[in-house]
């Protein structure tokens, strides 16, 4: 089943767009089914669960951490993550910078733009992101933007969210010379096709690959 779901998505996903298979709540057996079908990029959002899985799964998996991250959980996540997509506060950014300095590492990150109607959703404003990008960090490499659209069935609302983050990324690229700042991570199971039309370079798909989370 996992293999068929993957195949169906890859049939429609342009080859230059990276598919993150979001495996949260699903057991390592399901991840291995996707792995054996060729998938190498996976996403998790809970530090404890992520560390436990990463420790036992093949080392050539490219892990994307996509969840809210508390600063006291960095030690669970940063040894394994290829990229942290969900940098959503200055406090977290500073803690990642410090962890990188302490461990002689440069950590790839995306900055999360607060999209969508929900107040509870994390992320920065456009202005905050501009401020962050105007400074230099020596142990964090800014690779692009991440966003989660409003949780709704109304495609026009989702589309407006995607259009906003797409335009912001373009404007950053035009005004600031940011080498390596290329990624736009938007789109989940129900809206990844729409995200691709709005310039997504990364889509994060869980349910459509692994089925519902219990
Ligand atoms: C769970 C999750 C996804 C995947 O959601 P699906 O609807 O299952 O595809 C994508 N992005 C983030 C940040 C998530 O937490």
- pLDDT digits over 46-76, tens only? 999 999 999 999 999 999 999 999 999 999 9
What pLDDT shows up at residue 214? 75
Closest CA to 213 of 88, 79, 43, 57: 43
On the question of pLDDT at 121 being above 90, the answer is no
Neighbours of 102 (CB within 10 A): 9
Q: Report the nearest-CA residue for atom 13 of ligand 1.
A: 66
Q: At CB < 8 A and 24+ separation, what contacts does 17-21 make?
A: 17/196, 17/200, 17/201, 17/202, 17/203, 18/201, 18/202, 18/203, 19/203, 19/205, 20/64, 20/66, 20/185, 20/202, 20/203, 20/204, 20/205, 21/205, 21/206, 21/209, 21/210
- From 206, 209, 211, mutation site for ligand 1 pocket: most ligand atoms within 8 A of C-beta: 206
Q: Report the nearest-CA residue for atom 12 of ligand 1.
A: 66
Q: Which atom of ligand 1 is nearest to the CA of 85?
A: 13
**Is residue 159 packed enough to be buried (19+ CB in 10 Å), middle (13-18) or exposed (0-12)?**
middle
Report the interhelical angle of 155-175 vs 126-133 (nearest 10°). 30
Mean pLDDT of 113-133: 90
- Alpha-carbon distance of 62 to 78, in angstroms, equals 12
**Is residue 34 packed enough to be buried (19+ CB in 10 Å), middle (13-18) or exposed (0-12)?**
buried
Which residues lie below 8 Å from residue 127, measured CB to CB, with a gap of 6+?
Answer: none
Give the predicted TM-score (pTM) of the model.
0.97
- From 18, 19, 30, 43, mutation site for ligand 1 pocket: most ligand atoms within 8 A of C-beta: 43
What pLDDT shows up at residue 118? 77
Q: Which atom of ligand 1 is nearest to the CA of 192?
A: 9
On the question of pLDDT at 136 being above 90, the answer is no
């Amino acid at each position: 089943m996992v293999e068929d779901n993957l195949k169906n998505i890859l049939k429609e996903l342009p080859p230059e767009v990276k598919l993150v298979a979001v495996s949260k709540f699903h057991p390592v057996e399901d991840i291995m089914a996707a792995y054996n079908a060729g998938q190498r990029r996976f996403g998790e959002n809970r530090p404890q669960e992520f560390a436990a899985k990463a420790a036992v799964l093949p080392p050539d998996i490219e892990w994307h951490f996509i969840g809210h991250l508390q600063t006291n959980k960095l030690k669970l996540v940063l040894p394994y993550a290829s990229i942290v997509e969900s940098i959503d506060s200055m406090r977290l950014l500073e803690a990642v910078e410090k962890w990188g300095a302490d461990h002689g590492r440069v950590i790839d990150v995306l900055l999360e733009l607060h999209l969508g109607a929900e107040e509870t959703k994390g992320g920065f404003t456009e202005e905050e992101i501009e401020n962050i990008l105007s400074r230099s960090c020596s142990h964090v490499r800014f690779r692009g933007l991440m966003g989660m659209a409003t949780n709704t069935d109304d495609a026009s609302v989702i589309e407006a969210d995607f259009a906003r983050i797409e335009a912001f990324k373009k404007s950053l690229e035009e005004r600031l010379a940011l080498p390596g700042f290329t990624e736009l991570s938007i789109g989940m199971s129900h809206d990844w096709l729409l995200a691709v039309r709005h310039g997504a370079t990364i889509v994060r798909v869980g349910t459509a690959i692994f089925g519902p989370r219990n």
